[in-house]
Structure 1
Amino acid sequence: MSHHRETDATMHLIGRSLALLALLLAPFAAAGDDTVRLQLKWQHQFQFAGYYAAQAMGYYRNAGLKVDILPAGPGEDPVRQVIEGKAEFGVGSTELLLLREQGIPIVVLAVIFQHPPLALMTLKDDGIQTIHDLAGRKVMIEPGSAELHAYLRREGISADKFTLVPHTFDVQALLSGAVDAISVYVTDEPFALKEAGREYLLYSPRAVGIDFYGDNLFTTGDLLRRRPELVRKFREASLKGWDYAMQHQEEVARLIYDRYSRRHSLEHLRFEARQMESLLQPALIEVGHMNPGRWRNIAEVYAEMGMLRRGFDLQGFLYDPQPRDLTWLYSVVAGVAFLLLIAVMVAVRFAYLSGALRKSNDQRDKVAAALREKEERYRIFFMDSPDAYLIVSDGVFVDCNRAAEAMLGA
C-alpha cells in the first residue's frame, strides 16, 4: 500500500513538471484554427477583392484561420467596430492617424491603395469647370474624407465657402441636381454615371500634391501584443489573396457576384477591377507596402489642417512585418524549460530512491532490534532456568546456565 502511495506521489510530481513545461512553451506552441472577423468599410464589392480571394483560395484556412468578412452599411463606423472588439481587423482611411494621436492603439498592418481612391465628382454639363466653381455650391462629402477637405483648403475653398450636405451614398443626388458635387471612389460611382449616359468630371487631391494612402488594413495594439503570430498570419494570407485577385480579376469578380453580392453587376465589378490597377500599381509595388515617409507627409497635411499636432511620432503606428529575429531567444527559453523538466524529474527520482532507501534501512533496523530483543529474552530464560543446561556444538562445550554451573561446581 505504501509503495502505491510513493508511486502516486512520484507520478503527481512528474505530472506537475510536465504541466510546468507546457506552460513555459505555450507561447510558442502552434494554435488550432482561430476565428477572426474582418470589418470592411463598405458593402461587398471588388474594392475588397483580396480578402474574398484569400477566403476562396484557402489562404486563411491554410494559415489556421477561420475568417468572417463583415460588410458595412451607410452610417456605420467600421473603425469603431474594431476598437470596441466586435472585429479583430478592419479597413480604414488615413484618419486612423487621428485616432492614434487620441490614444487609441491603432496599428496599420498594410496599405492596399497606394494612391487615394477618393475624388470629388461633378456633372460636366453643370457649369462647373474647375474646383474653384464649387464656391457657393452644395457638396456631399462622406465621413473619413479628410484629404478632400485638405484639397479644398489648399485651393482656397474653406468650409464656409460651400454648403456641406450629409452624404446619401447615392449618385442620384447628383443626377437629380440636389447637390452640385459628391465625394466618390473613382473605382465605383463613375460607373453609374457611365451607365446613365452622363459625362462627369473628377477632381483628385493629387492635383495639389495630396497623395494619401487608401483602404488601410489595421488592427489594435492589444491584439498585436497578445497574438502577434495570428496578426502575422492574417496579414500574409490577406496580401496573398490580393496578389491573386489582381492577377485573376474576372474569376474574382464572378466569385463576388455569385457568393457575396449582386448589388453590382459583373460589368460594374470589372470596371472596379480595371480602375483599381492604377491605384494599387501591383506591377510596380508589392501589395501592402508602406512608406514611413509617405505617412509622415500625410501627418503633416493633417497638421496643416489643425487636425494633428506637428511632429507626431509614428512609432508603434506602423506594423513591422520583419521584426528583430527572436528565434534564438525562443530556443533558449525552450531549452531552459526542457532542462528544468529534466532537473525536476531527476530530483523526483532521487527523492523517491532516497525515501525507498530510508524505508529499507528503517525496516532492517526494526528487524535487528526485534532479533536482539528475542535474543535477550532467550538468554534471560536460559540463564535463570532452574534446570541445568549445557550447550555443545560439534562435540565442543560452548556455554551453560547458572544451574549447570552449580551442579558442576564451576
Structure 2
Amino acid sequence: MHPALRVATIFVALGGAVAAVFVALDSSRSAPSEGAGTPGATKVRIQLNWVPEPEFGGIYAAQQDGLFANEGLDVEIVKGSAGTPAAQMAASGQVEFAVTSGDQVLTLRDQGGKLVGLFAIFHTSPMGVMVPASSPYTSLEQLWHSDATVAMEAGLPFVRYLNLKYPGGKVRLVPTGTGLAAFERGAVAGQQAFISSEPVQMELKKVPVRFLSLAEGGYDPYTVTVATSASYLERERATCAAFVRALREGWTRYLADPAKYNPEIARLNPAMGLDAMAIAAEKQHDLVAPPKGSGDEVGWMPRERWERLAAQLKELGMIKEPPASIDAVFWNAPK
C-alpha cells in the first residue's frame, strides 16, 4: 500500500494519545540519507515518507542540479518507508522538513502538534480507485452504489467521505493485504490506488485499467506536502523560503525532463526500474504541474483549499474543530 494511504489509516486508528508516542522516536532510526555536504551552508534534513520514487522527483532534481546549494543549503534527503512517522518527526523538531499530507497536517494539529504546510507537490490528489478498463463503473458514485467488492482500507478518510457523500451504497470493502493479487485475478472489482503506483504496476503487466479520481469525487486534500514545524518556520523563515525556492525550480525542471533525474532515483531505489519511473512521471505530471491558466507556480497552495479540507475533516469526525486561523496551517513562500 502506498504511504499516503497507509499512514492515513494509521492516523484514524491511533488517536491523539498513541500518536503522541511517535514524537519521541529517535530520528537515527531513519534510513541512510543523501546530502550535498556543502561547506558553510545551512544544514537541513527532509524526511521522506516513502522510498525514492518520482513523486519526490523535484526534490532529487534540486539536489542533483545544485539548487539547494545555490540557496546556501546543505540538504540531507532521508529515505522513508511504509512506517516512517515523517509528520511527527518534523513536528517534534527531529528533522527540519518532512513529506506528509494536508490531512495529516490538520489531524496532527488537532492533537496538539504544530505543523505548517510549505509546498504542495501534487496540486490535485493522486488518490483514487483503480478498476479494470472493461469495468461497467465509470465513476465513484456508480461504484459506491453497486454491490461490488473493492480492496480498500475502511479507515481511510476518503472512505468516510464516500460513505457520507453516497449513503446507502452496498459496496463491500475488503482489506488490501494481498496487494494486487485479488485485483489481478478478478476477485475484486476495484482497488484503492495512488496514480503513480498501482496503475503503473498494471501497465507494466499490460493490464488495462481505469482510474477513478478521488479529487473528481470532491475530496481533494494536498496528499503529498512538504511541511515544517511552526517553531522552525518562525525561527528560520529565510531558510524555509530558500528551501521552497529550490523545490519550485527543482520541480519545474523535473516536470520538463524527468528522464534526466530518474537514473539517480533508480540508483537509490533499485526495486523500481526506469521503465516504471517513466510511466509514473507521465501519469503524475498533470497533477503536479500548476493548472493551466492559473498563474500559480508549482507547489502554491490557495487558502480556500485548506479551508475546505478543514471543514471536510470536521464533518468526517477526523478533527474536533477547524483551526482558529487557517493561515497558521500553511505558508506560501514569496514568489
TM-score bracket relative to the smaller structure: 0.7 to 0.9
Out of 182, 194, 203, which is 1:194 matched to? 203
Which amino acid in the other structure matches residue 60 of structure 2?
Y
**Paired position in structure 1 for 2:120:** 111
Preserved CA contact (<8 Å) 2:49 2:82: no
Preserved CA contact (<8 Å) 2:204 2:276: no
Preserved CA contact (<8 Å) 1:151 1:205: no
Once the two structures are superposed, what CA deviation does each residue of 1:43-70 show, in whole Å capped at 9, x if it has no partner? 1111100000110111111222221212
Once the two structures are superposed, what CA deviation does each residue of 1:354-392 show, in whole Å capped at 9, x if it has no partner? xxxxxxxxxxxxxxxxxxxxxxxxxxxxxxxxxxxxxxx
| CA distance in 1: counterparts of 2:279 and 2:60, whole angstroms | 17
Which amino acid in the other structure matches residue 220 of structure 2?
D
| CA distance in 2: counterparts of 1:142 and 1:270, whole angstroms | 31
Q: CA deviation at 1:246?
A: 0.9
Question: Is 2:328 the partner of 1:316?
Answer: yes
> Structure 2 vs 1, CA of residues 142 and 75 (structure 1 numbering), >3 Å: closer, same or farther?
farther
Preserved CA contact (<8 Å) 1:239 1:287: yes
Task: Name whichever structure is richer in helix by fraction.
Answer: 1
> Structure 2 vs 1, CA of residues 84 and 181 (structure 1 numbering), >3 Å: closer, same or farther?
farther
| CA distance in 2: counterparts of 1:280 and 1:315, whole angstroms | 23
Preserved CA contact (<8 Å) 1:63 1:234: yes
Q: CA deviation at 1:128?
A: 6.0
Question: Is 2:74 the partner of 1:66?
Answer: yes
> Structure 2 vs 1, CA of residues 134 and 120 (structure 1 numbering), >3 Å: closer, same or farther?
farther
Q: CA deviation at 1:295?
A: 1.3
Out of 115, 122, 131, which is 2:143 matched to? 131
| CA distance in 1: counterparts of 2:157 and 2:250, whole angstroms | 29
Q: CA deviation at 1:322?
A: 3.9
Out of 52, 58, 61, which is 1:44 matched to? 52
| CA distance in 1: counterparts of 2:176 and 2:225, whole angstroms | 24
Which amino acid in the other structure matches residue 308 of structure 1?
I
Q: How many residues get paired?
A: 289
> Structure 2 vs 1, CA of residues 86 and 294 (structure 1 numbering), >3 Å: closer, same or farther?
same
Out of 158, 162, 167, which is 1:156 matched to? 167
Preserved CA contact (<8 Å) 1:140 1:167: no
**Paired position in structure 2 for 1:252:** 261
**Paired position in structure 2 for 1:77:** 85
**Paired position in structure 2 for 1:218:** 227
**Paired position in structure 2 for 1:228:** 237
Q: CA deviation at 1:234?
A: 1.4
TM-score normalised over the length of structure 1: 0.63
TM-score normalised over the length of structure 2: 0.76
Preserved CA contact (<8 Å) 2:47 2:99: yes
Preserved CA contact (<8 Å) 2:89 2:95: yes
User: For 1:262-273, what aligned pairs fall within 5 Å after superposition?
Assistant: 262-273=270-281
Preserved CA contact (<8 Å) 1:46 1:272: yes
Once the two structures are superposed, what CA deviation does each residue of 1:93-126 show, in whole Å capped at 9, x if it has no partner? 1211121222211100111211110011233567
| CA distance in 1: counterparts of 2:171 and 2:209, whole angstroms | 23
> Structure 2 vs 1, CA of residues 138 and 305 (structure 1 numbering), >3 Å: closer, same or farther?
same
The gaps in structure 2 that reach 5 residues or longer are: 1-38
Instruction: Flag the structure with more relative contact order, 1 or 2, with Cα contacts below 8 A and sequence separation at least 6.
Output: 2
| CA distance in 2: counterparts of 1:167 and 1:86, whole angstroms | 31
Q: CA deviation at 1:202?
A: 2.1
Preserved CA contact (<8 Å) 1:54 1:60: yes
Preserved CA contact (<8 Å) 1:249 1:273: yes
| CA distance in 2: counterparts of 1:201 and 1:210, whole angstroms | 19
Preserved CA contact (<8 Å) 1:140 1:179: no
Preserved CA contact (<8 Å) 2:143 2:171: no
Q: CA deviation at 1:239?
A: 1.6
Q: CA deviation at 1:87?
A: 2.0
Which amino acid in the other structure matches residue 165 of structure 1?
P
| CA distance in 1: counterparts of 2:87 and 2:177, whole angstroms | 18
Secondary structure at 2:250 match in 1: helix
Larger Rg: 1
**Paired position in structure 2 for 1:141:** 153
> Structure 2 vs 1, CA of residues 265 and 34 (structure 1 numbering), >3 Å: closer, same or farther?
same
Which amino acid in the other structure matches residue 310 of structure 2?
A
| CA distance in 2: counterparts of 1:272 and 1:146, whole angstroms | 24
